[in-house]
């Protein structure tokens, strides 16, 4: 019995070694790895899903073309996808893992600022180019030569909204309702207030009300806003809060316009909000309905493949991946030394001028932030997002 | 048949029963040194992309084809060298351990710790990812252990630990960023930018400050809430956690919800290792002291303890502050590992994580906390490639632990350092 067991173990061991010997060697040197640091679980899994969808579409394009051509050589491309669980600490481990273990040449993501800020620090320390498609916090790219972003900043979006409302409605008095405990709404509300007061003088924001993440009853803030003589309400909130607030405002008798920010962009907003949101305007990175050219081609393909309209995250991720692709192609030649190649890609990325993406033309500033146009979107009477006008810096 | 099988297992167990902790450490050292020099070439030889970082689990989940390779790797690099070296040197190591046993305990403890540190530093030298996981695990040990003082030894249910961590993290960050870093949020460095070695000297001051503020926070919770027991303390401490979180959300000069970044890179492995050892040492001494016994008495029956001359109020207060102090230190280290803090990190999710580690590892036990924290962290990191399925597996495991071992894996166990480090004699020799 004992001898039999021993023999069996030895045979099994040899078989295993034999198996590993016959597995073909991957051509590691000829493969480019692009890391994806995205929230597939946690608070905003939809964001992770959209990013993953866009990335897989991009990868299938590259595969169809036979690989990525750089300086006459064709490289295979692999995606390394890491789930950052929508947590800052996990985003740091995911970034470290992508850089040191998966040997990513460049990284896309994290999407939300609370993860993009610490992960950007890691990428910058390891001198690995990172591009966050969706993070609007200035700290993400500030003083970090290796970190870029794919979207406009809140400091640009705030004035865009203020100018648009002034031109469109000729209003002079604004009300703002925002989440004080969430990074993005708080920042944007501040930028909007500054821009509005610059246009209409101090005190022209007549109501500046706040709540805390997770609140579901906004009646006291809304009552105060209704009592003030504000002519419209600016609401820089996410798709899960917008419907609640808009519906409660209407129930309390608010009939004036409500204007939103790029966080309204998810198709979920209108699904949850229904008729109450018809006629509202918001700022966005791109719009699927009525899109033309390459944007339309992307939207149609995405719709056909995943059965839903792409949201802004998907579009921005798509653009970010193409920026990386273009940067790699612009390198001219990869050395095969990962550390040197990362620096090459970073330098090529910083030099990109007038990149034609589906979310508009982009040129990076010295900080790694793009100069690009914003789109004003109107929610029409059928509940669709339609292009209204484009605002460029 | 079954008897035979049992016999074989007991023979294997006996083969390894006579090995002291020192022997295992030397075995591990040999294993990591072998990996350091031959790991990459072995991985190449086995046709793996890279050497498996976390014992091959991640490889298994991501590329099933590499399973045999990972298995052979783990056997050749870890299992076989550790077993062989530990077994072959057992006589020698027993003699050395016996020699240490006659010396004061601290000598032997320091020798073992140096050896352990050396093993860990060689192991993490191969991969920065491993290093990060190790750092986070060591910090998790500190947090878990400090919560165990309150939830395990004192038997209360406190939910304010993320709040204490946040206090420690922010205070130590204000110290390091405000004084030594030119930053946008906190402005110009008040004392100027210093070289790393000076940073290492002043870093403990920042951490201790963080710990002290956390302890003061604990006092603020403790004074009103210890008039109540059980559920009420849970509610008050939960409220405290939310108060701390919204405090930092609303403090604009600390970056508010945007968080505070650019902490200097001071939380190196030796620093964290020393703090973790200090934490385990002091907490173990605390719970083994008269005060610790009084704590257990309070947990079992407060009025009986009171009538046996235990000052229950003072005991509870000190234990609570002591736990909060170490949570604050851990928070400070955490902030300097991530080099960024935001209030959102210290919310309900962190609380669930910390509580899970405490109850998974075992109440009222130092070893339990270590096992719980390291196990939970490694598991969580290893299973990450599974994405959403990970969040089915980990809770299921927790439920199973709660069903079969309601107090946790290793609960109510003394952490006797001398017992662990002493020479182990074989059953025969003992007779």
- Whether residues B85 and B207 fall in one domain: no
Q: Is residue B328 part of a domain?
A: yes
The verdict on a CB contact (< 8 Å) between A118 and B338 is yes
Q: Is residue B416 part of a domain?
A: no
Look-up of token digits 């008095």:
A173
Report the domain count for chain B.
2
- Whether residues B54 and B167 fall in one domain: no
Q: How confident is the model at residue A4 (pLDDT cuts 50, 70, 90)?
A: low
Q: Looking at residue B311, what is its pLDDT?
A: 87
Q: How confident is the model at residue B11 (pLDDT cuts 50, 70, 90)?
A: confident
Q: Which residue of A has its CA nearest to B392?
A: A41
Pairwise pLDDT comparison (A71 vs A203), residue with the higher score: A203
Cβ atoms of B208 and B169 closer than 8 Å: no
Q: Nearest 10 degrees: CA dihedral of A114, A119, A120, A123? A: 180
Contacts of A340 (CB under 8 A, 6+ apart): none
Q: Which residue of A has its CA nearest to B46?
A: A20
Structure-block tokens of residue A116: 């993009």
Q: Looking at residue A87, what is its pLDDT?
A: 86
The verdict on a CB contact (< 8 Å) between A183 and B257 is yes
Q: Looking at residue A176, what is its pLDDT?
A: 94
Interface of B with A in 383-402 (CB under 8 A): 384-385, 387-388, 390-391
The alpha carbon dihedral of B322, B327, B333, B335 has a sign of negative
The verdict on a CB contact (< 8 Å) between A17 and B68 is yes
Contacts of A370 (CB under 8 A, 6+ apart): A148, A149, A150, A151, A152, A362, A363, A364
Give percent above pLDDT 90 in chain A.
45
Structure-block tokens of residue A226: 């209704």
Q: Between B72, B129, B340, which is nearest A121 by CB?
A: B340
Q: Is the pLDDT of residue A127 over 60?
A: yes
Distance CA(B29)–CA(B82), nearest Å, equals: 8
Give percent above pLDDT 90 in chain B.
41
Q: Looking at residue A198, what is its pLDDT?
A: 92
Strand bridging mode A174-179 / A205-211: parallel
- Please give, rounded to a whole number of angstroms, the shortest distance from the CA of A211 to a CA of chain B: 11
The verdict on a CB contact (< 8 Å) between B390 and A41 is yes
Residue ending a domain, among B357, B379, B400, is B357
How high is the mean pLDDT of chain B?
88
Q: Is the pLDDT of residue A21 over 70?
A: no
- Residue A74 pairs in a beta bridge with A69
Q: Could you tell me the CA-to-CA distances from B361 to B148, B272, B372 in Å, in that order?
A: 10, 21, 4
Q: Is residue B392 part of a domain?
A: no
Q: Looking at residue A325, what is its pLDDT?
A: 93
A137/B contact by beta carbon, under 8 A: yes
Cβ atoms of A133 and A157 closer than 8 Å: no
Interface of B with A in 201-220 (CB under 8 A): none
CB-CB neighbors (< 8 A) of A85 in chain B: 384
Residue B246, exposed/middle/buried by CB under 10 A (0-12, 13-18, 19+)?
middle
Q: How many CA atoms lie within 13 A of B329 on its CB side?
A: 29
Q: How confident is the model at residue B74 (pLDDT cuts 50, 70, 90)?
A: confident
Radius of gyration of chain A (CA): 24
- Please give, rounded to a whole number of angstroms, the shortest distance from the CA of B187 to a CA of chain A: 14
- Whether residues B116 and B250 fall in one domain: no
Distance CA(B337)–CA(B6), nearest Å, equals: 47
* Residues in chain B, overall count: 431
Buried residues in B256-278 as b, exposed as e (16+ CB within 10 A): bbbbbbbbbebbbbebbbebbbe
Q: Could you tell me the CA-to-CA distances from A155 to A120, A138, B207, B330 in Å, in that order?
A: 20, 9, 35, 36
Nearest-5° Cα angle at B215, B214 to B216: 90
Q: What is the largest CA-CA distance in chain A?
A: 93
Q: Could you tell me the CA-to-CA distances from A387 to A223, A289, A378, A379, B7 in Å, in that order?
A: 32, 7, 6, 9, 77
- Whether residues B312 and B185 fall in one domain: yes
Q: How confident is the model at residue B41 (pLDDT cuts 50, 70, 90)?
A: confident
Q: Is residue B286 part of a domain?
A: yes
The verdict on a CB contact (< 8 Å) between B258 and A93 is no
Cβ atoms of A270 and A379 closer than 8 Å: yes
3-state secondary structure A307-349: CCCCCHHHHHHHHHHHHHHHHHHHCCCCCCCHHHHHHHHHHHH
- Whether residues B133 and B106 fall in one domain: no
pLDDT, mean of residues A363-368? 87
Q: Between B47, B129, B133, which is nearest A25 by CB?
A: B47
pLDDT, mean of residues B343-372? 91
Cβ atoms of A90 and B391 closer than 8 Å: no
- Please give, rounded to a whole number of angstroms, the shortest distance from the CA of A134 to a CA of chain B: 15
pLDDT, mean of residues B56-75? 81
CB-CB neighbors (< 8 A) of A21 in chain B: 47
B243/A contact by beta carbon, under 8 A: no
Q: How confident is the model at residue A102 (pLDDT cuts 50, 70, 90)?
A: confident
Q: Looking at residue B430, what is its pLDDT?
A: 47
Nearest-5° Cα angle at B282, B278 to B287: 150
Q: Looking at residue A258, what is its pLDDT?
A: 93
pLDDT, mean of residues B272-299? 93
Q: Is residue B394 part of a domain?
A: no
- Whether residues B239 and B253 fall in one domain: yes
Name the nearest CA neighbour of A183 among A121, A112, A232, A260.
Answer: A112
Q: Which residue of B has its CA nearest to A140?
A: B261
pLDDT, mean of residues B82-93? 89
Residue A115, exposed/middle/buried by CB under 10 A (0-12, 13-18, 19+)?
buried
8-state DSSP, A24? P
Q: Looking at residue A23, what is its pLDDT?
A: 47
Distance CA(B336)–CA(B86), nearest Å, equals: 37
- Whether residues B131 and B153 fall in one domain: yes
Q: Is the pLDDT of residue B204 over 90?
A: yes
> What are the pLDDT digits (tens) for B301-342?
888 888 888 888 889 899 999 999 999 999 999 999 999 898
Q: Is residue B200 part of a domain?
A: yes
All domains of chain A, ordered by start, with CATH? 30-152+292-372 (3.40.50.2300), 154-284 (3.40.50.2300)
Q: Which residue of B has its CA nearest to A88?
A: B345
Q: Between B4, B47, B340, which is nearest A20 by CB?
A: B47
- Whether residues B141 and B21 fall in one domain: no
Contacts of A297 (CB under 8 A, 6+ apart): none
- Please give, rounded to a whole number of angstroms, the shortest distance from the CA of B123 to a CA of chain A: 15
Residue ending a domain, among B325, B357, B389, is B357
Residue ending a domain, among B72, B107, B124, is B124
Q: B124, B257, B343, B383: best mutation site toward chain A, by most A Cβ within 10 Å?
A: B257
- Whether residues B324 and B353 fall in one domain: yes
The verdict on a CB contact (< 8 Å) between A41 and B391 is yes
Q: Looking at residue B2, what is its pLDDT?
A: 55
Q: Is residue B414 part of a domain?
A: no
Q: Is residue B375 part of a domain?
A: no
8-state DSSP, B339? T
Q: Looking at residue B3, what is its pLDDT?
A: 61
Strands (E), chain A: 31-38, 68-70, 73-83, 106-108, 130-132, 147-149, 174-179, 205-211, 232-235, 258-260, 281-284, 355-357, 360-364, 370-371, 374-379, 385-391
Name the nearest CA neighbour of A268 among A313, A219, A320.
Answer: A313
Collapsing DSSP states into helix, strand and coil, what is residue A152? coil
Q: Nearest 10 degrees: CA dihedral of B12, B18, B22, B24? A: 0
Name the nearest CA neighbour of A145 among A132, A162, A127, A158.
Answer: A127
- Whether residues B104 and B200 fall in one domain: no
Domain with B65, as residue range(s), is 2-124
- Please give, rounded to a whole number of angstroms, the shortest distance from the CA of B423 to a CA of chain A: 32
- Whether residues B324 and B264 fall in one domain: yes
Q: Is the pLDDT of residue B1 over 60?
A: no
- Whether residues B97 and B149 fall in one domain: no
ipTM confidence: 0.83
Contacts of B313 (CB under 8 A, 6+ apart): B226
Cβ atoms of B28 and B119 closer than 8 Å: yes
A59/B contact by beta carbon, under 8 A: no
Pairwise pLDDT comparison (B14 vs A133), residue with the higher score: A133
Q: Is the pLDDT of residue A9 over 70?
A: no
Distance CA(B340)–CA(B318), nearest Å, equals: 31
């Amino acid at each position: 019995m004992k001898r039999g067991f021993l023999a069996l173990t030895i045979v099994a061991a040899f078989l295993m070694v034999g198996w590993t010997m016959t597995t073909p060697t991957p051509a590691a040197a000829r493969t480019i790895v692009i890391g994806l640091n995205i929230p597939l679980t946690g608070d905003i899994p939809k964001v992770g899903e959209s990013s993953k969808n866009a990335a897989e579409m991009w990868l299938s394009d590259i595969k169809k073309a036979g690989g990525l051509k750089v300086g006459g050589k064709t490289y295979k491309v692999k995606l390394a996808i890491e789930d950052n669980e929508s947590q800052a600490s996990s985003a740091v481990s995911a970034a470290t893992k992508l850089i040191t273990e998966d040997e990513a040449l460049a990284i896309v993501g994290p999407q939300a600022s609370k993860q993009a800020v610490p992960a950007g620090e890691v990428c910058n320390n390891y001198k690995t180019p990172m591009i966050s498609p969706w993070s609007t916090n200035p700290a993400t790219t500030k003083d970090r030569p290796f970190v870029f972003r794919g979207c406009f900043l809140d400091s640009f979006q705030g004035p865009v909204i203020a100018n648009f409302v002034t031109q469109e409605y000729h209003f002079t008095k604004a009300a703002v309702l925002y989440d004080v405990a969430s990074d993005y709404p708080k920042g944007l509300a501040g930028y909007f207030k500054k821009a509005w007061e610059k246009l209409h003088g101090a005190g022209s924001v007549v109501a500046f009300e706040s709540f805390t993440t997770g609140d579901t009853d906004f009646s006291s803030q809304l009552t105060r806003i209704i009592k003030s003589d504000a002519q419209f309400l600016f609401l820089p909130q996410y798709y899960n809060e917008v419907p609640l607030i808009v519906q409660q405002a209407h129930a309390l008798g608010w009939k004036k316009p409500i204007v939103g920010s790029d966080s309204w962009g998810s198709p979920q907003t209108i699904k949850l909000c229904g008729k109450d949101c018809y006629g509202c305007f918001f700022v966005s990175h791109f719009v699927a309905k009525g899109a033309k050219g390459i944007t339309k081609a992307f939207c149609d393909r995405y719709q056909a493949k995943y059965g839903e309209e792409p949201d802004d995250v998907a579009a921005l991720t798509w653009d970010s991946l193409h920026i990386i692709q273009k940067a790699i192609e612009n390198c001219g030649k990869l050395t095969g030394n990962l550390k040197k190649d990362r620096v090459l890609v970073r330098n090529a990325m910083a030099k990109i001028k007038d990149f034609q993406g589906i979310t508009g033309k982009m040129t990076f500033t010295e900080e790694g932030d793009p100069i690009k146009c914003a789109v004003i979107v109107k929610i029409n009477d059928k509940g669709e997002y339609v292009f209204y006008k484009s605002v460029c810096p | 048949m079954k008897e035979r099988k049992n016999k074989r297992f007991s023979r294997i167990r006996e083969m390894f029963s006579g090995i002291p902790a020192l022997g295992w450490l030397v075995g591990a050292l040999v294993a990591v040194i072998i990996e350091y020099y031959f790991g990459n070439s072995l991985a190449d030889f086995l046709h793996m992309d890279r050497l498996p970082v976390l014992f091959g689990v991640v490889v298994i989940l991501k590329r099933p084809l590499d399973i045999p390779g990972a298995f052979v790797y783990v056997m050749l690099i870890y299992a076989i060298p550790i077993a062989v070296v530990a077994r072959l040197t057992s006589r020698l190591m027993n003699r050395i351990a016996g020699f240490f046993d006659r010396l004061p305990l601290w000598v032997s403890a320091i020798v073992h710790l140096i050896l352990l540190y050396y093993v860990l530093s060689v192991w993490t030298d191969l991969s920065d990812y491993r290093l990060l996981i190790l750092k986070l695990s060591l910090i998790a040990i500190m947090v878990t252990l400090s919560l165990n003082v309150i939830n395990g030894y004192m038997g209360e249910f406190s939910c304010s630990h993320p709040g204490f961590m946040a206090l420690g993290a922010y205070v130590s960050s204000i110290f390091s960023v405000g004084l030594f870093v030119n930053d946008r949020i906190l402005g110009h460095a008040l004392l100027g930018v210093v070289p790393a070695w000076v940073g290492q000297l002043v870093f403990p001051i920042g951490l201790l400050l963080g710990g002290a503020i956390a302890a003061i926070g604990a006092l603020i919770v403790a004074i009103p809430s210890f008039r109540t027991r059980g559920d009420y303390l849970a509610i008050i401490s939960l409220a405290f956690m939310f108060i701390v979180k919204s405090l930092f959300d609303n403090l604009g000069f600390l970056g508010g919800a945007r968080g505070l970044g650019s902490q200097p890179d001071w939380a190196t492995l030796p620093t964290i290792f020393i703090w973790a050892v200090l934490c385990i040492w002091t907490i173990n001494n605390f719970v083994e002291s008269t005060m610790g016994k009084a704590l257990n008495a309070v947990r079992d029956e407060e009025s009986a303890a009171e009538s046996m001359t235990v000052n229950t109020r003072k005991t509870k207060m000190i234990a609570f502050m002591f736990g909060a102090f170490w949570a604050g230190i851990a928070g400070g280290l955490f902030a300097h590992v991530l080099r960024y803090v935001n209030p959102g990190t210290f919310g309900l999710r962190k609380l669930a994580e910390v509580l899970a580690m405490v109850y998974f590892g075992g109440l009222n036990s130092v070893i339990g906390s270590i096992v719980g924290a390291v196990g939970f962290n490694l598991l969580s990191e290893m299973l990450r490639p599974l994405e959403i399925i990970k969040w089915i597996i980990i809770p299921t495991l927790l439920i199973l632990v709660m069903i079969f071992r309601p107090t946790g894996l290793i609960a109510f166990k003394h952490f006797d350092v001398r017992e662990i480090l002493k020479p182990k004699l074989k059953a025969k020799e003992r007779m």
